[in-house]
Structure 1
């Protein structure tokens, strides 16, 4: 595959500084002039294939890491922020946005944070439901959003935690569906924790009493949920110090964000323990990402499997770059990550033409969709409904899970076998969010796009009661 133009000056500069080399020394090692290296580091010239190969050979790095799409997430978030009418007199080009995200990512993050605060304050003042004190308090990023962004911008992969969980899984010789027995025995032997079944009427999934060292699990919880909760306690006891150190270095601004991130990393460790990286990646490739077979092999739930697939971003051993989201019936995205070009909107609901919404209408089925976004990128999208269980009279939270990849990776998925991937007409036109979608003739448009003029025609009525013009 031909390597396109890559402007990766910041990464090259960081690599040089990590090796404590001057520009002249570094340029000499990779066989180019110091002036060319200076232009590369300032994104004035792209790196050539020869330079990439020299970097890989001399510094033992993965070319894919240098050309990875980590900037896509930041570029998408910055583009959405600048689409706000607040910036109506400024429409940066794609090249300008790339220069900012590549050369000054800290500045891009700061601008996004300011825009988030502006939106929250504006919405609060518009509703006028609270006192001015309450309105001012909401201008800061919420702890939940701060943690969500932490995972988003590290590619949803935490290397140290993943390795630690994989090492323990190897020591315990976990065998997929039998993992609950091995995990229970480990808790009892290493930490003298006894696992018991709670009263069926208990109002919790898991409860741990440190004084008695008893872990109580809800008897009605599905087997994958019980195994995950045991793995979660192991994360707290066996990897607590490691996780606390990672969270401490993240620089969160509140105790709430600190604790939410701790909880998120405990969950991450639990998933990595049940589905160890290399064996899970191998199985995903062998089974061609058959979600139901993966759940059977690893004794995990479908949501756990989909979430784990979204974390396969280990340097030098990456899985298929996928997008993953969990959405409730109101359209709220409660979990999200994308290693693909598709990035989820930070504000507003998901596109109504996206097949994830159909999952609630057809429970128990994996729904397939070929979709194309306004930028011309095409995707294979999978969606299905999941339920957290419960009796007839109990509340049963239901979510739709979405998983997918760019069409160039569709052959890795068994679900693409009988689809007409070469027929462009087979692809549904979807967007990211109505407020930033560029499509002018979408019959499902909920709100007009930002920064676009509207013409209301009183003598003509179409599905959308206005015409969008540049």
Structure 2
């Protein structure tokens, strides 16, 4: 079984020595034995959430730095690299990968970066292969070029192989060859221009993946937007709660955006923009959409500044990021950072209870948990996934070590799919191919109450946290966190578990 421990023992040992503490002295203050601390420093024991906090406080190490999030990303990337068929015959034990990351972090980061570049290059090759087969313009250009080359070849063969051609016939074939060659030039130039334009449009990664990577780098937390959200809440909330009628009035008076529940859609023109909600849309969803629209207008400068720091390469990626950041502000207005974090810690991250207490949906509460990463006052680091009934992943917030496909479907063994049939909360301790061990928690949500004869829109929401934090949540209660986990993968095609009985695709 792969070992999921992040190689932070070396870091703890280095900081302890810098502080002039012996293992016995540090272990005494932590309430553990010196032998157990020795195992931790040699990366032979996992560290539970509360113990990790105590070590960080005693040695003055930020939880973000101590938890080894960047190392976890590199471990996962190198693990995926070794699992690639290109590396067939090269066997590196998971412990060796962790030792490499712990002892030579820059070399590990270089390998991880090379792996991402290799994956992106493969993606570009697949796109070009698809384009060669399906692009009508390219097919037309290639067909024209091949026809003209065939004409030149045919004429040249006749001139070379038939010696008794008359002078008139010879002149006619030479003229045909000359015409085909002359017409071949613009067709070839068009083909070159096509590939030049394609190359200019190529992006290093897909827009969704690029935004995901940018959010990971910023730990899904944006202090500037938290400050904006606090100001907007003071502006909009006369009481402790955001009132829907007051928010609708503010949208119309300040930005000329009218809101309507039911009825015909308002024309979305510059003169009369509007938001229209179905009769069945729940109140939290209406408020969230109003707040997202309000934030996109009232905080446009701050959103633009934040998006610029993400350094995205395409307009498509910037559009996705702007929507994600506007949603971030909306969630922060509905669930103020300090109040929500305090409530989450007190209620041990019981998402259903938190959503009820905050007056928001289960999905909104789960989303907000992902963003609680303020330096010095962090919540638990969570990954977030949403899937529709077909199994397609429609939202994703990655977590270091949690391998998530950039598009399509996930692993059939994830509890996000079991939740559709159980109707309740599904918990599972899962082991990913890169060695990451996570507590996965899933539950279905309905986006709106359907009318008679209308099929309800149902999604499954899944939160994931590293197993070292599981004991700080209600979802870890009663589970054997140190027992045998369910071995899962990212999805079938890239998964290296070749003997998995649930495999539905041929592996790469």
Which consecutive residues of structure 1, in runs of 5 or more, have no partner in the other structure?
13-28, 32-45, 47-52, 451-470
Is 2:149 the counterpart of 1:149? Answer: no
Q: Which of 431, 443, 447 is residue 489 of structure 2 equivalent to?
A: 431
What is the CA–CA distance in structure 1 between the aligned matches of 2:246 and 2:110, rounded to whole Å?
Answer: 44
What is the CA–CA distance in structure 2 between the aligned matches of 1:343 and 1:232, rounded to whole Å?
Answer: 29
CA gap of 1:74–1:186, structure 2 versus 1, over 3 A, is farther
Deviation at 1:226, TM superposition (A): 0.7
Is 2:320 the counterpart of 1:260? Answer: yes
Is 2:69 the counterpart of 1:70? Answer: yes
Which consecutive residues of structure 2, in runs of 5 or more, have no partner in the other structure?
1-6, 21-40, 42-53, 139-193
Is 2:304 the counterpart of 1:244? Answer: yes
Deviation at 1:5, TM superposition (A): 1.0
Aligned partners of 1:224 and 1:301 also within 8 Å: yes
What is the CA–CA distance in structure 2 between the aligned matches of 1:268 and 1:395, rounded to whole Å?
Answer: 29
What is the CA–CA distance in structure 2 between the aligned matches of 1:8 and 1:349, rounded to whole Å?
Answer: 41
Deviation at 1:383, TM superposition (A): 1.1
Aligned partners of 1:121 and 1:138 also within 8 Å: no
Aligned partners of 1:100 and 1:107 also within 8 Å: no
Q: Which of 470, 475, 479 is residue 410 of structure 1 equivalent to?
A: 470
What is the CA–CA distance in structure 1 between the aligned matches of 2:206 and 2:326, rounded to whole Å?
Answer: 20
Deviation at 1:99, TM superposition (A): 6.7
Deviation at 1:241, TM superposition (A): 0.4
Point out the more displaced range, 114-123 or 371-380: 371-380
Is 2:321 the counterpart of 1:317? Answer: no
CA gap of 1:230–1:313, structure 2 versus 1, over 3 A, is same
Point out the more displaced range, 193-202 or 275-284: 193-202
Deviation at 1:366, TM superposition (A): 1.8
Give CA-to-partner distance per residue, 1:199-257, whole Å, 9 cap, x none.
4354x9xx865534754444432211110111112211221101112222333222222
Q: Which of 410, 423, 427 is residue 368 of structure 1 equivalent to?
A: 427
Secondary structure in 1 matching 2:302: helix
Aligned to 1:161: 225
TM alignment of 1:154-233, pairs within 5 A: 154-170=218-234, 172-173=236-237, 178-187=242-251, 191=254, 193=256, 195-200=258-263, 202=265, 210-212=270-272, 214-233=274-293
Aligned partners of 1:165 and 1:273 also within 8 Å: yes
Specify the structure having the higher radius of gyration (Cα): 2
CA gap of 1:90–1:281, structure 2 versus 1, over 3 A, is same
Secondary structure in 2 matching 1:343: coil
CA gap of 1:404–1:303, structure 2 versus 1, over 3 A, is same
Could you say which structure has the greater relative contact order, defined with CA pairs below 8 angstroms and 6 or more residues apart? Answer: 2
Secondary structure in 1 matching 2:9: coil
Give CA-to-partner distance per residue, 1:88-115, whole Å, 9 cap, x none.
4666651446677646747744641342
Give CA-to-partner distance per residue, 1:35-67, whole Å, 9 cap, x none.
xxxxxxxxxxx9xxxxxx9x9999xx7522332
Aligned partners of 1:369 and 1:428 also within 8 Å: yes
Relative to the length of structure 1, the TM-score reads 0.71
What is the CA–CA distance in structure 2 between the aligned matches of 1:63 and 1:97, rounded to whole Å?
Answer: 19
TM alignment of 1:17-32, pairs within 5 A: none
Deviation at 1:73, TM superposition (A): 2.7
RMSD after superposition:
4.2
Point out the more displaced range, 282-291 or 372-381: 372-381
CA gap of 1:260–1:447, structure 2 versus 1, over 3 A, is closer
What is the CA–CA distance in structure 2 between the aligned matches of 1:56 and 1:410, rounded to whole Å?
Answer: 19
Give CA-to-partner distance per residue, 1:313-347, whole Å, 9 cap, x none.
11111111222211233333222224464332447
Secondary structure in 1 matching 2:213: helix
Aligned partners of 1:100 and 1:108 also within 8 Å: no
Q: Which of 11, 19, 34 is residue 6 of structure 1 equivalent to?
A: 11
Is 2:497 the counterpart of 1:444? Answer: no
What is the CA–CA distance in structure 2 between the aligned matches of 1:307 and 1:4, rounded to whole Å?
Answer: 31
Aligned partners of 1:62 and 1:315 also within 8 Å: no
What is the CA–CA distance in structure 2 between the aligned matches of 1:366 and 1:56, rounded to whole Å?
Answer: 34
CA gap of 1:294–1:57, structure 2 versus 1, over 3 A, is closer
Larger helix proportion of the pair: 2
Aligned to 1:130: 134
